[in-house]
Each structure stands twice: as structure tokens, then as C-alpha cells.
Amino acid sequence: MWWSRAFALVALLLLTACGFAPVYGERGALPRGAQTLLANVTVEPIEEREGQMLRNVLLDQMNPGGMPAKPTHRLAVKVTESTQETSIQKNQFSSRANLVLQATYILARISDGKRVTSGSSRITASYDIVEQPYATLAAEADARARAVREIGEDITQRIASALTASSGTAAQ
């Protein structure tokens, strides 16, 4: 019996030493060494209100200690938002809507301007349209905040992966 526990412990130690990460591990966990690399990324201002919200999310995730003194990379993001009414009642009024937020990004080195990675992220957040206009506005604002947070996490994960791959940190 003791040998099965010892075997399990040795197997666990070997798996963690090789960089193994479980598929259903901690959500939002960054690759090893990524936070240090992310701390050197400056996020350029993004237009519109949802862009400002996204920039704040990215800054919180990438630069929790504040703006980098000597950034090595620059992140440029463009955000577009659209709304699609999805549930039409018999009286021709909509009762549900999807807020679609799409962000395209480019990460480039500051030293030579070379593109490290680029891509896009798209999130759809649903909300109810009710008779009270304020409640509908509040539901739409909540959907926007959820979408911005999800896109921010997605972009941060992608940037972290690209930075660790380009620096060779992922192999260590």
C-alpha cells in the first residue's frame, strides 16, 4: 500500500518538473515567467468607452505594479461593438439582445517595431430588454463589462503565450 502512494508522489513530482499543466487547471493561470514579461508591455490608449474599459482590464492584468519604466513591447488594440436583437415578440418588440464585442490587437517590439504577434478576440454577451429603460441600460452595461473582462483575459493569455514562446521561457 505504501508503495502506491510513493509511486503517485514520484509521478506527480515528475509531471510538475516537466512543465505539465492540467487541462482543467486554474483558470487564467499564466505560463511560467509570463508575468515578468507582461510587466514590460505598454498598452496604448484605445478609442471609445469600451476601449477605455478594455485598456483598464489589460493594465490591471499585465501591469499590476504600474506602468513599466522602460517598456520592451507595445500593444495596440482596436475595439468594435455591435448589438443584435435576438428574440422578437408578437408585438414586434425585442426581449433579448446580444452585445458582440470584437478586439483586434498587435504586439510589437519597441526596439525595432517588429510584430511579435497579432490576432483578434470576439465575445458575445446576452442581456434582457425589459419595459423599464433604466433596467435595460443597466443590463446592457453589465453585458459590456462581462464582454470586456473576457476579451481582456483572452488577449492577456495570448500575449503571455507569445512572449514566453519568443523569449524561450516556455521551455524552462
Which residue has better confidence, 109 or 10?
A: 109
CB 52 within 8 A of CB 77: no
| Mean pLDDT calculated for residue range 19-36 | 59
User: pLDDT band at residue 3, thresholds of 50, 70 and 90?
Assistant: low
Locate the domains of the chain by residue range: 2-171
Provide the pLDDT confidence category of residue 106 given band limits of 50, 70 and 90: very high
- pLDDT tens digit sequence for 72-85: 999 999 999 999 88
C-alpha to C-alpha distance for 40 and 77, rounded to whole angstroms = 17
Cα angle: 12, vertex 22, 27; to 5 degrees: 135
Provide the grid cell at 161: 503565450
For the residues 83-95, what does the mean pLDDT come to? 72
Cβ contacts of residue 104 below 8 Å, gap of 6+?
A: 77, 78, 118, 119, 120
pLDDT digits (tens, 9 = 90+) for 134-162: 999 999 999 999 999 999 999 999 999 99
State the average pLDDT over residues 10-26: 53
Taking the model in full, what pTM does it have?
0.75
What does DSSP say about strands 73-88 and 41-43: parallel, antiparallel, or unpaired?
A: parallel
Per residue, what are the HEC states of 123-151?
EEEEEECCCCHHHHHHHHHHHHHHHHHHH
Query: How many residues comprise the chain?
Result: 172
DSSP letter (8 states) at residue 112: T
Domain 2-171: give its CATH architecture.
2-Layer Sandwich (3.30)
The chain-wide mean pLDDT, for the chain, equals 82
Q: Do residues 146 and 125 touch, judged by C-beta distance below 8 A?
A: yes
Residue 172 has pLDDT above 50, yes or no: no
pLDDT band at 22 (very low <50, low <70, confident <90, very high): low
Which helix (H) or strand (E) covers residue 104, if one does?
strand 94-109
